[in-house]
Copies of this chain bind each other. A is one copy, B any other.
C-alpha cells in the first residue's frame, strides 16, 4: 500500500521525535519510522536536526534482528547543561546539571542570600561560572536556569511576592538580571515546589499526583497534580505550615495565628521541647540524626511531629487524592519515625478511597532535591517539543523572529 504524500494528519515534528527518544518509545531510526509512520528519509532529517542541536547522539549498535543492526539513538544528556540553584536563608546551593537533570557539579554554603539579590546574584552567577569551569563546560553551553527560593514566588512573573521571606527579594525581576549573563530561559519558583518537581522527576516519575512535604525549620508542601505543579493565584499553594491543627494548645506562631502546624511541629518547636526535657541537639539536623540513630526521646518527638503533620496531610489527601507523599526536609532524614507518625494519623483521618493507593515515601534525592528540581523545571521548558522546534527554526531561519505587529 503506497503511503500518500504530504504531512500526515497528525504532524510529527522534530520535537516530537525527541520526545519519543527521550521516553524510550523508539530508540532507532527504523523504529521511529514505524511508530510515526514517517518515511525513513523524513526521520533521518529530523534526527539530523536534533543531532545538530546536540540533543541526540548515536550510541552503540542495537541488537540485530537478522540483518544490519540499527544505530541506537539516545538522548544526549551531555549535549548541554542547565544551571540550577536552591536558595535559602541558612543554606544556598548552586549546581550545573546535564540535560538529564543529573548534577555535574555543585556547591553549598554562602548565606549572603539573605542580604538581597544585589549581593546574592553576583555570587550566584560567579559560582555558576566556577562550577562550569570545574566540569569543563563553557557558559554558552547553558540552555536554561532554574532557581528555587523560599517564600511565595510568582512563577509566571518570575519574581518573589511581597512581602518576601528572603529580605530584599520581593518584587525584584530576577530573570532579566540572570539573563544578562546567561541569555537563556530563567525560571523561578518556590523552593518546596521545586523540590517537589525534583522528587517527581528523579525519584517518583510515575506518580503524577504527588505531595512533597518539607519538614525543617518551617513546614511546607509542593503539590503536583496530574503531573503539573499546583501554584495557586499568588503562588501561595502548598503553604501548609500555617494550617491550624487540632489540640495545638494555643501555641503562638510567628505568623500571628495560633496552633499553626509549623508552630507545633516545626524545628524550633521540637528543639524547645527537647531542651525542655533536659536534652540537647545540634539544631534540627542534629535532632533528626539522633532520631535516626534511635535515641528514644528524639524518636518520640519526631514521631509526634509526624502525627501533627499527618493531621494536616490527611486533609490534603482527602482534598487532592495523591498517589505518594514524599517526606523531605531535615526532619525527613529521620524518615522512619516521621513516617510512622504521619502514617498513623493520615490513614486514620483520611477516607478509605482517598488513601487506598497512597504511599508515604522518603525523599530519595536527599539534599539534592532542590537542585534537581531546578534543573527539571527548566528542562521541562527547554526540552518541550515546541521549544525544540523553535530552536531548530531559529538555527536555520531568521535569527530573531520578531513578534507579530498586531495586538499583543
Interface residues of A (CB under 8 A from B): 4, 8-11, 13, 25-26, 31, 34-37, 152, 161, 208-209, 221, 223, 225-226, 228, 230-240, 242-244, 246, 255, 257, 312, 314-316, 318-323, 349, 351-354, 356-357, 386, 389-390, 393-394, 397-398, 401, 404-407
User: With A and B bound together, what is the CA distance between A11 and B393 in angstroms?
Assistant: 11
How many whole Å from A222's CB to the nearest CB in chain B?
11
How many copies make up the complex? 2
Q: Please determine whether A226 and B234 come into contact, CB atoms closer than 8 angstroms.
A: no
Task: Point out the residue from B232, B386, B394 that lies within 8 Å of A320, measured CB to CB.
Answer: B232
Residues of the B chain whose Cβ atoms lie less than 8 Å from the Cβ of A390: 9-10
Asked whether B404 lies within 8 Å of A242 as measured between CB atoms, the reply is no
Tell whether, in the assembled complex, residue A315 and residue B319 are in contact, meaning their CB atoms are under 8 Å apart.
Answer: yes
Shortest distance between the CB of A31 and any CB in chain B (Å) = 7
- Chain B residue numbers with a CB within 8 Å of A10 are 386, 389-390, 393, 401
CA distance A10 to B25 in the complex (A): 25
B residues in contact with A357, CB < 8 Å: 233-234
| Contact between chains at B315 and A236 (CB < 8 Å) | no
Are B255 and A351 closer than 8 Å at their CB atoms? yes
* Distance of A26 Cα from B232 Cα, bound (Å): 29
Quote the shortest CB–CB distance from A181 to chain B (angstroms).
Answer: 26
Does B231 contact A226, Cβ atoms closer than 8 Å?
Answer: yes
Structural contact, B406 and A321, CB atoms closer than 8 A: no
Residues of B within 8 A of A407 (CB): 25, 35
Known: A232-B354, A315-B312, A351-B242. A320 touches B9 (CB 8 A): no
A214 to chain B, nearest CB (A): 14
The residue of chain B having its C-beta at the shortest distance from the C-beta of A324 within the complex is: B233
